[in-house]
Structure formats: C-alpha cells, structure tokens
Chain A
Amino acid sequence: MEQVIMNNLNYPILSTVIFLPVLGALLILINKRSWETLTKWIALGTSILTFVASIPLFTHFDKTTHKMQFVERFSWIPNWNIYYFLGVDGISVLFILLSTLCAILCVLISWTAITNKIKEFYIAILLTTSFMIGVFCALDFFLFYLFWEAMLIPMFLIIGVWGGPNRVYAAIKFFLYTLVGSVLMLVGIIVLYLYSGKTFDILTMMTKHYPYTMQIWLFWAFFAAFAVKVPMWPVHTWLPDAHTEAPTAGSVILAAVLIKMGAYGFLRFSLPLLPEASKAMTPVMLTLSVIAIIYGAIICLGQTDLKRLIAYSSVSHMGFVTLGIFALNTQGVEGGILQMLNHGVVTGALFLSVGVVYERTHTRRIADYGGLATEMPIYSSFFMVFTLAAIGLPATNGFIGEFLILLGGFAANKWAGVLACTGIIIGAGYMLWLYQRVFFMEVNPKLHGLVDMNVRETIALLPMLILVFWIGVYPNSFLSFMHTSVQHLLERVNSGGMAQEAQIAKNIMEVIR
C-alpha cells in the first residue's frame, strides 16, 4: 500500500497503547474489592505505563510524510471486508498522547474524591481511555464506529453512577444526544461502504470520488454525529449538564478528549471524503462557529455554577476550532488542531482545578467562593495560569491556537474573523470575572482554613502547566507534526491540485485588489 508506512518499530505500538488500559481493567476486575489501594495503584501504574508506551509516537514520528504511520492491518471479518486497521498521521497522533496523559491525571485527581464502587470507577476510566485512543487510531470505518460507540458506555456510567445530584438526567441526555447523532453517521457509513465497493477502509474510500448530491447528504449525516460531539451550537445543551454532573475525572475526559472527537471527525472524514460538500457548506459552518463563539461566551457571563461556566466556555472555544477547520487554509486548520490540543490542556486543567477545590468545599456555586487567593496561594497561581491560557494571552498555548485560527478565519472570511474576535473580548470578561469572584476580594468565611494543594494534586496539574508554556513559547514542537498532513488534506479539499500557497496568494490579491 503506498498510502501507508508500516510500523517501523519492532512491536505493535498502537495496539499496545490501546490494550494496555484494558489489561489494567482486567487486573482490577480480578482484584479483591476490599483492596482499594491496590486498585488505585493498578490504575495509576497502567495509565503511566500506557503513557510511556505512547511516547515513541512523539519521538519516532516521521514528520516529513502525510502517510499513515505505525500501521497495523489484519483481516478481521473477511466476509464483510472488515479489517483491524490502525495508523496515525499528523492530525491524530497528538491526541493519542493527550489521551494517555489525561488518563494519568484523571486517576490522580480521583484518588480520594471517589469513595464508592472504586473498582468499577477505575475500570470505567481505563476502558474509556482505551476506546478513545482507538477512535484516533482506527482507519477502518467499522472499527472506528465500534470504538466511537463503545466509548459512550463507560462514559455514560461515569456520569450516571459517580456524578452529582442530577446525574441520571445528565447521563441519559448525554447518551441520547450522542446516540442520535451516531446513528445518522452509521447510515452514512453504510452508504459509503456500499458505494465505494464494499470496503470500510477509510484510505481506500478517500481515493474514490462521490457525486455532489450524495456528498451533501453524507455531509449532514456525519455532521449530526460530529456536531453533537464538538458540540456546535445549537446542539450543545448536553454539554453543560454532562460536565456539571460528571465527577471531576469525567469532566476532564469529556473536555480534554471526548469532545475533540467531533472536530477530529470533521478533519478525518468530512473534509477528505466529501471535499466539495465541505467547501459548499463552509458558509453554514462558519456561521455556526461564530454563533458558538459569541453565544457561548456571552452565556458564560450569566452562569452561577463554576463547572457550568467552564462547560459553556468550551462551547465558545470549540467554536474557534470549527472556525479554523472550515477556514480551509493552512493557518486555520493547523490552528484548529492546535487549539483542540490547547483546549484539552486548558479546559482539562480547569476542570481538574475545580475538582481540587470541590473536594474541599463540596460546592460549585461561584457565590460560595471569594478570597481563595489568600487561603490557597499555590492553587490560585495554577488557576491563574490556566485562566490566562483560556483567554489567549501570548506565551500561553491559547494564544498560538486562537491567533492562527483568527488569522485563517479572517483570510477566509473577514466577517467571520472580525466577529470571532469579539469572542476574545467577552472571553477575557467572563474568565477574569470568574477569577475575581472566586479568588479575589474578602475571604468568604466558609473558606477559612482551607489547605493548599497537596503533592498529588500539584503533580496532577503540573504537566498541564508545563504544556501551557511549552506550546506557548515553542509551538513548533507540535505544529511541525501537522504541516505535511494538513497540507495534504487541504490539497485534497481544494481539489484540482490548487495548493494552499495559491489560495493565500488569491486572498492577498483580493485584499489588495
């Protein structure tokens, strides 16, 4: 196969990373229920091992090619032409690392927060991790769908069993919302399967050309699944409920990885498989993105619940991501991918941080806080860094992503760029106001005597802090993964071989005219 590079390591790295957490889950399963500490250590050990196992993806990745790497391909169900087909390229590889890192942090932050059904909880976390990694690796549509749907189950349980007071409503809402979207995607997959000569191989599917009308139908079928996951406006309302009710680890997984899958879906499937439809739908997608940015930001100003506010800010931030992707130029798409990563880091970190303080106060109401900077200075410094990253301050990761997205968005459509910029003003407004109400001013009497973060919590937040500055100061460590893959993707979308350079040149011409 000329589209792929077989695995050049001497062991199947992707399968290892996917199935290590499953192995850990099995170990926990056979562990005695009363040995709770051992359960936790198995979970921690497994997640660290998985992360270490995924590091070669970062160090041994060939950045000079857009082809799929570390590929594993075995016939699985020959009758249906289904393969166990895994591989990564510059678009997906970083999300695997994000998922494996995230798993460690989730285990750490749940250490004392989860007190009932400990075994089941860590099994659910590990299984979610495994399935999430699967989603980013799968190159067979059937396998992809399997992972995509499988992930819902442990996530549903995490929200429904270990969540807040309104957890059952939130869990069912989350499940139904995403299921309805996924079912439409299934229809799309089946149509593609039949049309492209009965193959589920995504790379083969990409070599085919699909009639325009069919592309449009398929675009909306996929849209249903991906837009709900992102979530785009107006199908975002599951997110605040799910985030708010989920336990900290659940919120972190949701924010850091799970909602990235929607945007990833657009990049992996919608754009390359349905290039004409994607281009034709750009105005709609840009409009929805801009609405999400502004709507999500303004609605944050009206929130009284910490987690709900951060959840809505995700709607706004993911609006930036879809804006970048559908700008369909290098800066926009690379910015979009980087912003997915950034959002995972920053919003993940914000939820982790909220978890830290929730464990002490058991309240999410903003009004119950105030003056925390006096009581927990180290914690408030961490939170400040994440706040600044969320509002896109230069030298933090948020700036690089937002800047590239806005530059790309502005080049693609000036209105979209200008309107999206207003999201940055409001973003500063709600985040700084939140920070003020929680950390500044007189100490709320209820908060007297709170202890600052302990070593475990600090270790859980430190990787995110490092990533915030790493990506902010030297983003090329991460951007360099994307260049060739994004270039290839855009060449395909702007079919007729019109290169990205030409597109930019055209934009410049339009500007100068």
Chain B
Amino acid sequence: MANMELQWYHVLIPFLPLTGFIINILLGREVTRYKAHWFAVSSVFGSWLCALATLQDVLAGKIIDADLYTWIISGTFKVGVGFLIDPLTAVMLIVVTTCATLIHIYAIGYMHGDTGYYRFFAYLNLFTFCMLMLVMGNNFLQLYFGWEGVGLCSYFLIGYYFNKKSAADAGKKAFIVNRFGDFGFGIGVFMVFLTFGTLHYADVFANVNSIAGKTVDFLGFNVDLPTLIALLLFCGAVGKSAQIPLHVWLPDAMEGPTPVSALIHAATMVTAGVFLVARCNPIFNLSEIAMNTVAIIGALTMFFAATIAITQNDIKRIIAFSTCSHLGYMFLACGVGAYAAGIFHLYTHAFFKALLFLAAGSVIHAVHTNNIQFMGGLKKYMPITYAVFVIAGLSAGGFPGLSGFFSKDEIIWSAYASHSSVGKFVWILALAGAFFTPFYTFRLIFRTFFGEYRGGLAAEEAATHAHSSSHSSSHDSHSSGHDPHGHGSSSHGSGHDSHGGHGPHESPYIMTVPLMFLAIGAVAAGWVGIPPLLGGGNHFAHFLQPVVGHPEFHATHAEEWGVMILSTTIALIGLGLSAFMYLRKTDLPERISKQFSLLYKILYNKYYVDEFYNLTIVQPTLKLANKILVGFTDAKIIEGIVNGVPNLIGIFSQKLRRLQTGIAHHYAIFMAAGAVFIVALIILLS
C-alpha cells in the first residue's frame, strides 16, 4: 500500500500551526500581542504550501503510511502517532488548510482591537493543528486525539467571550453533547481493538472481511459485529457533525466569533463525522443496517434543520441550521454508498458555507446585531459583501453551474440511483431539501440586503427595551445570541472610529479579499467534479475511488437528466417563492406565520428538543445529585451508619464497663478464654 517515505513537508503540515499556537500562547500576552497574526497566519499559510506539495505526491499516485513514534504500549496494545496520506486525506488537507488560511487572514480584520487578540489566534492555530492531526492520522486513536482536540478548541472558541454567560454555557454544552457521541465512539474503538488486535487503519481494513457476518454478545444481546462497530463509530460522527439527536449544540455554538463559526462550525470540524464514515467505509459497507441508519439520520437531519432555518431571525443561526442540513446531505450520500459524492459535497460546502459565514460576519461587523429584522437595505452600503453573499447563496442553493450544484446533484442522483427503498425515501427528502436551501438562504439575503435599512443595533436595543418593559418575554434568549464583537468600540483601534451613527459601511480589504477568494471557490471548486453527463470527467470521484470505491448504479441517461432537471426546478421554485414572499408580498410571511401559528412556534423553537433534553436528562441528573446522593445516600445512609457504629459502640461499652470488676482472677479467666479463642481460630483457619 504505502509506497513513499514520510517527507519533512508532510510532518510540517500539522506541526507548523502547533508552533504558531505555542508561540502565541506563551508570548502572546507580553510579546506578540497585536502582532499575533504574523505567526498565526504565516504558520497556516506554510501548512497550505506543504499541503499543495503533498497533493502533488498523491496525484502522482503516492500513498504514505508511517509512524512518527510509538505513543502507547501496554501488553499487546500498541499504537503510534503517525500519518496516512492518501487521496481522501489529500482532499481534507486542501479543504482544511485553504479555509484555515483565508479565515485566519479575515480574522485579522474582524478581531482587530479585541483584547484577547493573541488568544484568539492561538486557539485558531491549535484548532488547525488538531484538525490536521485528525485527518492525517493513520489509526483510530490518533483520530480520537484530533477529534477531542478539535472539540476542545471549539469549546474555547465558542466560549471566547467568556464573560457572557450564554457564551460560556454554549461552549460547555457543545463539549458535553459531543461527549455523548464520543461515549459510543470510544466503545467502538475498544471493539475495533478487541476484534482486530490493532487500531491501525491499514491492518484493520485489510482484515475487515474476516468479520463479515460474525455475531458477538454485547451486553446480553447477540448482535452483528460489523453493524455494532459501525454504529458505535457513527455515534461519534452524530455528535461531532451535529446530526439528530445530538444536533442541539451547533446553533448555540454561534456564540463564538464569526470566523470560528466559518472555520470550525461550517468548513472543517463539523465535517469530521463525514470524514470518519468515509474513512471507515470498509466497515460500514459490511452492514446494511448501519448504512441505512447513516442515510436516514442524514436525511432526517437535513430535512428538520432546513425547516427550522426558515423561521429563524438570527443571521448566524440560520446559516448554522443550514450547515446542519448540508451535513445531513453528506451523510445521506455516504449512507447510500456514494462516499465520493459525500466528500465532494464536504469539499464544495466548505467554500460556500465558509463564505456565507464570513459574509455574515462582515454584515455583523457593520450593523452590530445578528438579528435580520434590524438589517435590510445593506446592498448599497456593502456591495462586495452583497455580491459574495449572493454567490454563496446561489452555490448553496444549487444554482446550475456553481460548485454546490454539482455536489448536491451528485448526491440526489446517487440516492435515486441506489434503487433501495431507503434510497427512495431519502431521495424524496433530499428533493424537499433542495427546495428549502435556496428558500431560507434567499430569505436571509432579501431581509438583509434589500428594502430599507432598519437601524441595526440601536433599533434592536430600543426594541428589546420596549419589549421587556411591556412584558417579560421568554424569547429573549433567542435574540441575545449575537457576537459582542464591536460593542464598546471605544476599546477598538482607530480604524473603527467612524462606526457610531454614520450607518453601516463596507468592511476593510483584509476581510473582503478573503471573501473574494472564497467566492472563487464557491463558483469554481465544483468544476473538478462535473459529471460525464454534462461533459465533465468527474475527476473528483475517480481520484477518491482507491479509498472509497465507486457505487454500482444502473440507470439510463434519461433518468439522470430527469433527476437533475427535477431537482434544479425545485431549487429555482424555492428561490422564486422566497423572492415573491420577501421582495414582493412582504406582508405574506407575517400572515402565514399567524395562520399556522402552532407550526410556526414549533419550528421557531426548534421542535423543543432543547427543552425536552432539559426535562429528561439535565434536570433529573441534577436532582439525583442534589436531592438523592448529596442529601440522602451520602448524608443519611452512609454517614448514618458511619456515625451510628461509634454510637452503638458507645452504648455497648457502657455495658462492657461492668466487666471491669477490678478483681484479678476475673481478668485471668477472660485472658485465658481469649487465648483459647485465638488458638482455635488459627487452627480452624489453617
């Protein structure tokens, strides 16, 4: 398999950002301070160059699988820190380093003047390191290392504005919800080791066929071994990629600064689950149940998240639900066996979704609120942001010719062509999703950039004051989610003096130039995967074929055309309806939400999943801790016995005192009896 030695530039890919992190975390406070981005950006840019060199190697047919050193040895358990570089890794490397570089540069402008400037870049570097270790690892434990590492950075960066309770809460929530997924993932890793005696991908996948059809006793149930392992591993993917039922952390994660949302919660970290499934495709392929589970979970998440997105008013939360929904698409693809299509969508999604987030960040930078109800009319103030936002929206919505179109079409087509009942079911949901994406994306664009400017932060504050003085609302938590970025602009650098009162304006070039580069990606990145039907060669799928194989679809060209035209028409209808409702009949959305107020409420409150978890998991656990364990078991039962025994002894010894008669021969008798007892005991025991 491996046909190339590990080169220095392969090793540098992850370790350059780690160096940047170490420099900034140690010296940031005193030395690098507002120059922290020098180290951060140059290290990530260096990684990008190394990743390009690595891509060259892989394109030349090279595969690298080598250990750096042995991490843990214990008995037969042995695992290293090492790299596996194959086409799948190469794709991920390009995605991660490209997005990371552009987003690091953007952050120079976005975070300008923030008191934690160096800390922000340090975490961003650390994240890049962990993500690269995750995708480059050659074994399950290193995957787990990267997995937890990116989760940690996500925790740090979501809670970056830690003085805010909502931000601290959101970070903690993300971490703990992910731990639920990792619970299954960890057990999956144990099962892999117990089954194969190793955690290295190459050895596991080489022997994977030996477990086909085997069953195993798991907690008293007799289950199919490949299904068990695949589903346990998938638990981790569900957590990390915010799929139902562990999707609840992602919307709250929008508390973090926008570059974080773009890098971690859109382009890279959340796609780790998809990467995991694609990487472990030999295991998943052995189990139909596991594959169907992946497809159905993906399709359901895609649909539910899309329906929530159409009712939200927080610009970042809308995009977050959109991310959730697109991740669902990727899983759906993996679940029908079209891993290459899933990874292709991961790749195009990274560009258009990062672009959507960063453009949204640019908007927030200008208007200082996340609530689209207080935006509007920004088209004339921020033309560049507007242009790239529309490009990203069209790409996300699957407008023909743009990146998102090719990948989404590939997925919908694969679902249709897989010819199973599950495939048909997810295909219908996928078509529905094709309607929603352009609908909510353009609702967002129309509300933000068209019409009249509705006042930004000032208007929002006025509204919340009026609101809370009339009646205390339970919905306050929804509107409080915006970035505190830019507040208290007195602490900002001189470039921001023009902020207050002069109306929104376009962001500086340091932010808009990365947007332009991402816009190129959102348009053209998908051109490497144009299907043969449209005259392309689908190079992307061929490139990945050695790793993920190629599904066997039997369908005619006519069907292929039909599916493509159908999904494109649906997408255009979504776009058109959005324009009709939010440009023409602008009173219509209000009327519809009144008409269907129950449905609207359910969607607006995200199907009440958070409330459900709070009632069924969080509160009972806390109650158990406080009322039962602290208040009863420990304090009453155990302590009762502990304190009770001495009390009993006290009573007993009062009686025993009477033995102390003070008469010598009584004592002699007791001693003799005692001695006889001990001797008897020894004889009996021996």
Residues of A within 8 A of B (CB): 173, 176-177, 191, 194-195, 211, 213-214, 217, 234, 236-238, 295, 298-303, 329-331, 334-335, 371, 373-374, 377, 381, 388, 393-395, 399-400, 403-404, 406-407, 410-411, 414-415, 417-418, 421-422, 424-426, 428-429, 432-433, 436, 439-443, 473-476, 479-480, 483, 487, 500-501, 504, 507-508, 510-513
CA of A191 to CA of B682 in the docked complex: distance in angstroms? 7
Contacts of A211 in B (CB 8 A): 686
CB of B413, distance to nearest CB on chain A (Å): 39
CB of A339, distance to nearest CB on chain B (Å): 12
Contacts of A237 in B (CB 8 A): 634, 638-639, 642
Which applies to chain A's interface (DSSP): helix, strand, loop or mixed? helix
* CB contact between A513 and one of B169, B180, B191, B216 (< 8 Å): that residue: B216
Contacts of B186 in A (CB 8 A): 406, 421, 424
CA of A374 to CA of B162 in the docked complex: distance in angstroms? 9
CA of A436 to CA of B149 in the docked complex: distance in angstroms? 19
Contacts of A422 in B (CB 8 A): 183
Once the chains bind, are A301 and B625 in contact (CB under 8 Å)?
yes
* CB contact between A373 and one of B75, B148, B162, B685 (< 8 Å): that residue: B162
B178: nearest chain-A partner, CB-CB:
A428
Once the chains bind, are B219 and A432 in contact (CB under 8 Å)?
no
Once the chains bind, are A504 and B75 in contact (CB under 8 Å)?
yes
Contacts of A512 in B (CB 8 A): 195, 211, 214, 216, 225
Once the chains bind, are B197 and A508 in contact (CB under 8 Å)?
yes
Once the chains bind, are B76 and A501 in contact (CB under 8 Å)?
yes
How many residues of chain B get a CB closer than 8 Å to chain A's CBs?
Answer: 65
Once the chains bind, are B194 and A507 in contact (CB under 8 Å)?
yes
Once the chains bind, are B624 and A298 in contact (CB under 8 Å)?
yes
Once the chains bind, are A440 and B187 in contact (CB under 8 Å)?
no
- What sequence of 0s and 1s flags, for each residue 188-222 of chain B, a beta carbon within 8 Å of any chain A beta carbon? 00110111010000000000000100111111000
Once the chains bind, are A432 and B634 in contact (CB under 8 Å)?
no
CA of A400 to CA of B621 in the docked complex: distance in angstroms? 28
CB of A397, distance to nearest CB on chain B (Å): 12
Once the chains bind, are A441 and B168 in contact (CB under 8 Å)?
yes
Q: Which of A217, A417, A428, A487 has the most CB of B within 10 A?
A: A428
Once the chains bind, are A421 and B621 in contact (CB under 8 Å)?
no
Please list the 3 inter-chain residue pairs (A to B) with the smallest Cβ-Cβ separation, ordered nearest first: A330-B75, A302-B625, A301-B625
Once the chains bind, are B149 and A394 in contact (CB under 8 Å)?
yes
Once the chains bind, are A418 and B193 in contact (CB under 8 Å)?
no
Query: Which segment of B5-13, B66-74, B105-113 sits at the interface?
Result: B66-74
Known: A406-B190, A422-B183, A487-B75. 10 other contacts (CB 8 A): A302-B625, A330-B74, A411-B190, A414-B219, A424-B179, A426-B621, A436-B159, A441-B163, A479-B72, A483-B74
CB of B103, distance to nearest CB on chain A (Å): 24
Contacts of A214 in B (CB 8 A): 685-686
- Knowing A217-B685, A436-B168, the reply to whether A442 touches B163 (Cβ < 8 A) is yes
21 interchain pairs, CB-CB under 8 A: A214-B685, A217-B685, A295-B633, A330-B75, A331-B74, A388-B152, A395-B145, A403-B72, A404-B77, A406-B190, A410-B194, A417-B190, A428-B179, A436-B159, A440-B165, A441-B164, A474-B71, A475-B71, A500-B76, A508-B197, A513-B216
Once the chains bind, are B75 and A511 in contact (CB under 8 Å)?
no
- What sequence of 0s and 1s flags, for each residue 447-488 of chain B, a beta carbon within 8 Å of any chain A beta carbon? 000000000000000000000000000000000000000000
B646 within 8 A of A: yes
CA of A384 to CA of B633 in the docked complex: distance in angstroms? 31
B659 within 8 A of A: no
CA of A432 to CA of B178 in the docked complex: distance in angstroms? 13
Once the chains bind, are B152 and A393 in contact (CB under 8 Å)?
yes
Once the chains bind, are B191 and A298 in contact (CB under 8 Å)?
no
Contacts of A403 in B (CB 8 A): 72, 141
Q: Which of B168, B218, B621 has the most CB of A within 10 A?
A: B168
- Knowing A303-B630, A334-B74, A512-B195, the reply to whether A421 touches B638 (Cβ < 8 A) is no
Contacts of B434-450 to chain A: CB distance below 8 A: none
CA of A331 to CA of B194 in the docked complex: distance in angstroms? 12
Contacts of B631 in A (CB 8 A): 302
- Knowing A191-B682, A194-B682, A421-B186, the reply to whether A441 touches B165 (Cβ < 8 A) is yes
Contacts of A513 in B (CB 8 A): 214-217
CA of A173 to CA of B641 in the docked complex: distance in angstroms? 13
Contacts of B389 in A (CB 8 A): none
